[in-house]
Structure 1
């Protein structure tokens, strides 16, 4: 398959009139798969009403078919055609955070969405992206768009069009390049079908943000217990993983450097994922700061790009700093734990 590549300035007026937008939307209406930017990561979009189109997403990504997809909409009128009802808590969140990086779980209407989109569930995950190109393409296509992250399944999510091209060139119909994404990690997913909203996947909208709007929310137990079955799209299988084995390091700077030295003594090419504050203190073949500890949003923004940079550098092992489980740090640590396959090294557990 020849993959088309379009570049569009996201800041121009009247995006809908641009031929690149029209061409991308025409492919989507024809049940082809097209990647486009959102404010979180690049999405791999297809017509959410078509079984044929949804199947092409799973095939392009190599994604297990029991892993549901998030449906992207451009306005509330589209939502009302897809869901059975809109609970009060969901209404409050929509008013506060849409368009934006929040995905809400609703009870779906029967016989509307493709079964492959919801993976046989009675619910559907929906969000309204806060990106002018995403909204323009969805409006022009005239259908809701199912769109997981535009990467091969299990690999770091794409925050730039070049990442999509690296993973999916020749496997999809087109890539719409709108520059780098903003948030850098996928949307928060919250289930509003329960009495108390349940956070199934942490993201750019934090627990504190939501509780300021709707009161109490709780985290899905599966976020902390790997043996629990997660309920959110994109959380069931290995995800975000770099090529080299990765370890989360819980200990002092001196202890972490000792672990680096030990790996280098074994002849390994070591990568260290750190922060701008700590980077000058580490000695390894590849040391990459991933934002600032004083601004965890900057860490979220750069995380996937840094993981891909380690791949390009062909490191053989990666050690990573860890971050507080608060605010957007919850999302950062969720992604790091998945990327590291829950491999931790802790100074307090080390042999004397």
Structure 2
């Protein structure tokens, strides 16, 4: 069974009902400060932490004095706009005393569906983590409509875990795991400690009910588990309303762990390797040697590019003899690549007329 103490990169999903009291609409500041202490302790041992935090609409609703009933789309978007500022400030204030810097990342479903935007999002998150920042991710509810939204943050959290290559995902919920039936309705319902495979029988046990402020139910959590585990990320569902919920999980609190037999990096490499290439680049001997040592591909090491590929498209990587070394996701189009072939990073801006990425294909986006 997975253990939180073993996580190298952790994504934590926090629902609206944990941040905002569903009876009074008051913000739960003491709870946020307690989980901030948990996060600081986890980061202190070298684990990257990404938070997927709901709460902007719930907070904005209270600030604007809107009713607690279903809101029209434009009022929801207005509440999100007002609440997002408050939410970001609360996270910053909670984590800053522990020396933790926060960054806000707002996304829509299109950021994952479009490969170019997906790679941009991944690069930004990797850079933030490299600087020791804790990204606070939320759906951009100010612009998202039903056609372009995730719809619930369980699904969003799983996609974020896949994007950043996390090895563990924790969904803080209003229940302490996955049960054979709804424990509120069936006293004989049994909680699973570990689920190694999401079978049709497991799917049939999931209910639809969510809490008053959240949109997701157990079915959305199963979908999240399927997405995460397929990418090599173990996932836990645990009760999160008490103080220090992550410390409690680490100490053995009730939870259901969905296991994965894959490594997240290996799963990503397998996904990239299975793509049909849209073009190809030829590299010189020095670049081929660098790739073999686990480095990224720089424009200076490319001697030729062919194909009408776009940013984010898979391209084959060949050596001077024409032998395919592997393939990766390009951070430049085919036309851009041909303009910067053989150039050092400081020369690419002049050739393109604008500042671009330092690498052509990042090592994390490459399968050799």
Greater Rg by CA:
2
Which category describes the TM-score, using the shorter chain as reference length? under 0.3
Q: RCO (CA 8 Å, sep 6+): is it higher in 1 or 2? A: 1
Q: What is the TM-score of this pair, normalised by structure 2?
A: 0.27
Q: What is the TM-score of this pair, normalised by structure 1?
A: 0.28
